[in-house]
């Protein structure tokens, strides 16, 4: 009786081990000099600032549409006055971080995978090693750190823009002052709503950065492999975002029960 694992299972385990080893190397290399501060700041600008228009537009539409979709149901049950509170909790606790992370994975994950993949197939990474530069520290560490630190900032900005979109959505069918709307939103939020959402966004950013870099750094098959790296970086990052979110929800529920 053969004990050999299926090919897909073997490939999955091999890739999981490869990403884990890659992440371990990242933590090891992060603390070693020389520190690429200029490149890190440049990546923060590209990953954070350049992503803001897309993230902001998505957040605005998300808050507006969510409000317009919830309003008829709340009116039917006679609790339309709770609309700002419900939208605020939904956006800050769950929808804002997850949707922002998915948009971030689609834009930044694919960009990193394609950029490093093209550098790999054109042997630019090998040339950096020959010239004495540490390509892992210059290319990987800076991008992973930038994505880890910038995504929480983008999540906060996206939440704020989403709530403003919700405010406009509330005023489409009624009249609610800006002060009253935000008073209802923030009165409904607790510290246990904001902190877990903020913390897990760091893990979302790290997952997107490390997976995008891994896929690009080990890209092969020539120019075809660049497209495959970009595509798989988005797919795997999106799956990891949902897995991390599921784990975060379970941990939060345990602490809330205690």
Summarised one tens digit per residue, pLDDT across range 185-227 is 888 888 888 888 899 999 999 999 999 999 988 887 777 778 8
Tell me if 172 sits within 8 A of 217, measured CB to CB.
no
Q: Is residue 205 part of a domain?
A: yes
How many domains are there within the chain? 1
User: Residue 210: its pLDDT value, please?
Assistant: 94
- Which of 256, 258, 229, 205 is CA-nearest to residue 15? 229
| DSSP state at residue 34 | P
pLDDT in tens, 147-189: 999 999 999 999 999 999 999 988 887 778 888 888 888 888 8
Give the pLDDT of residue 1: 44
Q: What is d(CA 75, CA 92) in angstroms, rounded to the nearest whole number?
A: 23
Which structural domain, as residue segments, surrounds residue 45?
A: 7-257
More confidently predicted of 74 and 162: 162
Does residue 2 belong to any structural domain of this protein?
Answer: no
pTM above 0.75, yes or no: yes
Indicate whether 1 belongs to any domain.
Answer: no
d(CA 152, CA 205): 8
**C-alpha closest to that of 45 among 37, 56, 34:** 37
How far is Cα 253 from Cα 255, in angstroms, rounded to an integer?
5
Q: Is residue 224 part of a domain?
A: yes
């Amino acid at each position: 009786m053969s004990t050999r694992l299926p090919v897909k299972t073997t490939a999955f385990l091999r890739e999981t081990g490869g990403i884990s080893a890659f992440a371990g190397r990242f933590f090891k290399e992060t603390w070693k000099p020389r520190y690429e501060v200029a490149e890190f700041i440049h990546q923060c600008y590209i990953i954070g600032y350049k992503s803001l228009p897309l993230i902001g537009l998505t957040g605005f539409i998300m808050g507006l549409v969510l409000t317009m979709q919830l309003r008829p149901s709340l009116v039917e049950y006679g609790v339309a006055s709770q609309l700002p509170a419900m939208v605020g909790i939904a956006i800050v606790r769950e929808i804002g971080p997850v949707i922002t992370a998915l948009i971030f994975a689609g834009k930044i994950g694919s960009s990193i995978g394609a950029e490093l993949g093209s550098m790999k197939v054109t042997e630019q990474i090998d040339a950096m090693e020959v010239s004495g530069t540490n390509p892992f520290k210059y290319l990987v560490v800076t991008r992973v750190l930038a994505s880890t630190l910038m995504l929480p900032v983008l999540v906060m900005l996206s939440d704020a823009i989403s709530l403003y979109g919700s405010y406009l959505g509330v005023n489409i069918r009624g009249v609610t002052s800006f002060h009253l709307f935000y008073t209802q939103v923030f009165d409904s939020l607790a510290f246990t709503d904001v902190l877990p959402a903020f913390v897990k966004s760091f893990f979302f950013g790290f997952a997107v950065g490390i997976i995008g870099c891994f896929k690009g750094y080990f890209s092969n098959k020539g120019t075809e492999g660049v497209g495959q790296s970009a595509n798989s970086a988005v797919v795997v990052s999106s799956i990891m975002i949902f897995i991390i979110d599921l784990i975060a929800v379970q941990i939060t529920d345990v602490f809330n029960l205690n």
